[in-house]
């Protein structure tokens, strides 16, 4: 019976805007995330056009990985990480996105980070764009709505591909690209919020703009893949999707068809383009029915065909149900909510916990694409308690991760070619949806709190030693 590959990539995942801090240091420009205030489960965070001194902007200091990277990477090495997923902040390299020459101080920072990883035999897995679009591109162009962004993104890719040869092998183009199929994608993914100031839940939405912006990301991603394949054959480039597993609420065929429709738009559309190299046939009807006309330039279809990714990656946190009946009880979730599943429990933020959904989803993905798959985000956002003796007894997190790893193993037994696993927020960091520190995912606790205070000291949680043993036993001792 199959189990995890011998070279299985165990590790953890982060994103620059959620953990680096140092938001305006060494020439860095403001990214879209730097313009977002903190919020909570009940009070949505805001985006502002200028920095207001009365608000708190959690990305500005975050957990200050910028100045703690040596200590943090040493802790990852102690857990036995084989891979560390991080993103490069585009605005460290090109502060407005539009400069001709990259910022040397920004490039040098990631040299140091990658060298530190390699010192311990940890492979960096780099997300090129993870909710870090230069804010200047948003204010000038309405983000990815403008085709110009393709060239700016390519300049950025050229600079980092060239610089990090021999240091980075695994790359992902856009984090959770399929977030752009939902209204929440406007802000962090697509940057189509020019001139907007206010709550992130009240951003005006125009699907025509969103799908146009997505098209530009597809072309940009394909061009980056093509560039890497032609010039840097050692590079492997993946896509990255937030996998929103959907079940029919009942066996009524109407519910089943409604589920299939949602799965196609939300989960399959973007990866069909990025893995297979063309728009899937079902999108024609969706575009027609929603009066969406995606403008393509001559040559775009060829670019998409020539820029297919080498591996498929996903984030997986939860599942929900779909019904034709609009009156069902809703559950919260990342990006889009859905109907509550009576068989599942939920996290404190209302995200339904469904380890078997990961098994199901991995099988569906691999059946469809037959290319290597990697789970690059998964985890439980939870309130952790720092005990008087300094310990953090996060058994709930261990349970969540154990159950999901067991189900990944089932998928491997079913034949899925699974490359690796990088649980989200392996060190506590700022929540993307709410801007909170209180929603913690890490094996490492960081003394940083929602009012901006905290010593930034790092502490190992109970899950730290547990995960270390999981890695040492290649997933056998759970
Ligand atoms: C994914 C993102 O959607 O989920 C991460 O790629 C994010 O950036 C993670 O942090 C967890 O979501 P949240 O809202 O709990 O931080």
CATH code for position 396: 3.20.20.80
Query: Pocket of ligand 1, candidates 36, 334, 383: which has the most ligand atoms within 8 Å of its Cβ, to mutate?
Result: 334
- DSSP for 80-104, written as a single string: T-SEEEEE--HHHHSSSS--SS--H
Is 377 one of the catalytic residues?
yes
Rounded-to-10 torsion of CA 173, 431, 441, 67: 80
Kindly tell me if the per-residue pLDDT of 328 is higher than 70.
yes
Contact 113, 168 (CB under 8 A): no
pLDDT per residue as tens digits for the range 85-142: 999 999 999 999 999 999 999 999 999 999 999 999 999 999 999 999 999 999 999 9
Angle at 8 between CA 7 and CA 11, to 5 degrees: 125
Domain that residue 115 falls in: 9-470
Is residue 59, in this structure, part of any structural domain at all? yes
Whether the per-residue pLDDT at 333 is higher than 90: the answer is no
Distance 431 CA to ligand 1 centre (A): 6
Question: Rounded to 5 degrees, what are φ and ψ at 304?
Answer: -60, -40
What's the rounded Cα separation, in Å, for the pair 171 and 163? 14
Contact between residue 294 and residue 287 where contact means Cβ atoms under 8 Å apart: yes
Residue that has been written with the tokens 């940057």 in this structure: 191
Q: Which residues contact 16 (CB under 8 A, 6 or more apart)?
A: 86, 87, 88, 89, 92, 130, 132
Q: What is the pLDDT of residue 2?
A: 86
For 372, phi and psi rounded to 5 degrees?
A: -55, 145
Instruction: Give me the mean pLDDT over the 260-278 stretch.
Output: 97
Sorted by sequence, the CB contacts under 8 Å of residue 235 that are 6+ apart come out as 161, 168, 169, 170, 171, 228, 229
Model confidence band, residue 335 (pLDDT cutoffs 50, 70, 90): low
Percent of residues, the chain, with pLDDT higher than 90: 96
| Number of CB atoms found within 10 A of residue 413's CB | 12
Give how many domains the chain has, as a whole number. Answer: 1
* Cα–Cα separations (whole angstroms), residue 18 to 14, 71, 76, 417: 7, 17, 17, 30
Q: Each residue of 35-88: pLDDT tens digit?
A: 999 999 889 999 999 999 999 999 999 999 999 999 999 999 999 999 999 999
Q: Which atom of ligand 1 is nearest to the CA of 176?
A: 6
| Ligand 1 geometric centre to CA of 129 (Å) | 14
CA pair distance 402, 405, nearest whole angstrom: 5
Question: What is the model's pTM?
Answer: 0.98
Q: Are 88 and 27 in contact (CB under 8 A)?
A: no
pLDDT band, very low/low/confident/very high, at 332 (cuts 50, 70, 90): confident
Residue 111 lies in a domain: yes
Ligand 1 centroid to residue 255 C-alpha, Å: 28
Specify whether the CB–CB gap between 8 and 82 falls below 8 A.
yes
Answer whether residue 476 is part of any domain: no
Confidence band of 326 (pLDDT split at 50, 70, 90) = confident
Which position among 61, 377, 407, 436 bears the catalytic label? 377
Helix (H, G, I), strand (E, B) or coil at 419: strand
DSSP assignment string, 48-62? -SS--TTS--TTTTT
Instruction: Tell me the C-alpha distance between 301 and 309, whole Å.
Output: 15
Nearest residue (CA) to ligand 1, atom 10: 432
Residue 162 is among the residues annotated as catalytic for this protein: no
What residues are in contact with ligand 1 under a 6 Å CB criterion?
Answer: 15, 18, 175-176, 242, 315, 334, 377, 381, 424, 431-433, 439
Please indicate, yes or no, if residue 295 is contained in any of the structural domains: yes
Count of beta carbons in the 10 Å neighbourhood of residue 253? 10
Compute the distance between CA of residue 131 and CA of residue 154 in angstroms, rounded to an integer: 17
For atom 2 of ligand 1, the residue with the nearest CA is 432
pLDDT band for position 330 (50/70/90)? confident
Q: What's the CA-to-centroid distance between 149 and ligand 1, angstroms?
A: 24
Residue from 337, 426, 433, 441 to probe ligand 1 pocket by mutation (most atoms less than 8 Å from CB): 433
Helix ranges (DSSP H) in 348-478: 355-369, 395-413, 462-472
Q: Is residue 478 part of a domain?
A: no
- Do 468 and 80 meet the contact criterion of CB atoms below 8 Å apart? yes
CA separation for the pair 422, 82 (Å, rounded):
10
3-state secondary structure string across 311-328: EEEEECCCEEEECCCCCC
Which ligand 1 atom is the nearest neighbour of the CA of 315?
A: 1
Strands (E), 130-221: 170-174, 198-199
From the candidates 99, 123, 145, 176, which is the catalytic residue?
176
- C-alpha 434 – ligand 1 centre gap (Å): 9
Is 355 within a domain? Answer: yes
- How many angstroms separate the alpha carbon of residue 456 from the centre of ligand 1? 21
Bridge-partner residues for 198, per DSSP? 47
Q: Is residue 4 part of a domain?
A: no
Within-domain flag for 475: no
- What is the reported pLDDT for 327? 80
Q: Is 357:408 a contact under the CB 8 Å cutoff?
A: no
């Amino acid at each position: 019976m199959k189990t995890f590959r011998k070279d299985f990539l165990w590790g953890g995942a982060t994103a620059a805007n959620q953990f680096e801090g140092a938001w305006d240091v060494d020439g860095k420009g403001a990214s879209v995330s730097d313009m977002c205030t903190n919020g909570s489960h009940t009070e949505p965070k805001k985006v502002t056009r200028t920095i207001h001194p009365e608000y708190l902007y959690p990305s500005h200091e975050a957990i200050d990985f910028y100045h703690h990277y040596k200590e943090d990477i040493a802790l990852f090495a102690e857990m036995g990480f084989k891979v560390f997923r991080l993103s490069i902040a585009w605005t460290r390299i090109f502060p407005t996105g539009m400069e001709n020459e990259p910022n040397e101080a920004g490039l040098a920072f990631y040299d140091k980070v990658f060298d530190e990883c390699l010192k311990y035999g940890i492979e960096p897995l780099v997300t090129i764009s993870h909710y870090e679009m230069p804010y200047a591109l948003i204010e000038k162009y309405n983000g990815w709505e403008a085709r110009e962004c393709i060239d700016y993104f390519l300049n950025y890719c050229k600079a980092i591909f060239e610089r990090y040869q021999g240091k980075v092998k695994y790359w992902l183009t856009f984090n959770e690209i399929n977030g752009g199929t939902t209204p929440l994608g406007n802000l962090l993914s697509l940057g189509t919020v020019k001139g907007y100031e206010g709550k992130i839940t009240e951003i005006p939405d125009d699907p025509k703009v969103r799908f146009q912006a997505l098209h530009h990301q597809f072309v940009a991603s394909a061009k980056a893949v093509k560039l890497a394949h032609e010039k840097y054959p050692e590079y492997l480039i993946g896509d990255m999707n937030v996998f929103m597993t959907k079940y029919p609420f009942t066996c009524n065929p109407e519910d089943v068809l409604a589920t299939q429709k949602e799965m196609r738009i939300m989960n399959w559309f973007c990866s069909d383009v990025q893995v297979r190299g063309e728009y899937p046939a079902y999108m024609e009807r969706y575009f027609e029915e929603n009066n969406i006309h995606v403008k393509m330039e001559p040559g775009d279809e060829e670019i998409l065909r020539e820029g297919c990714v080498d591996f498929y990656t996903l984030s997986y946190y939860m599942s929900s149900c779909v019904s034709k009946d609009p009156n069902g009880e809703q559950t919260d979730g990342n990006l889009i909510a859905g109907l509550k599943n009576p068989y599942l429990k939920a996290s404190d933020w209302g995200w339904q916990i469904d380890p078997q959904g990961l098994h199901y989803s991995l099988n569906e993905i691999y059946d469809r694409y037959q290319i290597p798959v990697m789970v690059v985000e998964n985890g439980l956002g939870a309130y952790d308690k720092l005990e008087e003796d300094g310990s953090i007894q996060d058994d709930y997190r261990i349970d969540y991760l154990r159950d999901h790893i067991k189900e990944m193993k089932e998928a491997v037994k079913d034949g899925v070619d699974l490359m690796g696993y990088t649980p989200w927020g392996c060190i506590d960091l700022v929540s993307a949806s709410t801007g909170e520190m209180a929603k913690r995912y890490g094996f490492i606790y960081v003394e940083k709190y929602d009012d901006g205070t905290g010593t930034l000291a790092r502490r190992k949680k109970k899950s730290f030693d547990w995960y270390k043993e999981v890695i040492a036993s290649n997933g056998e001792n759970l």
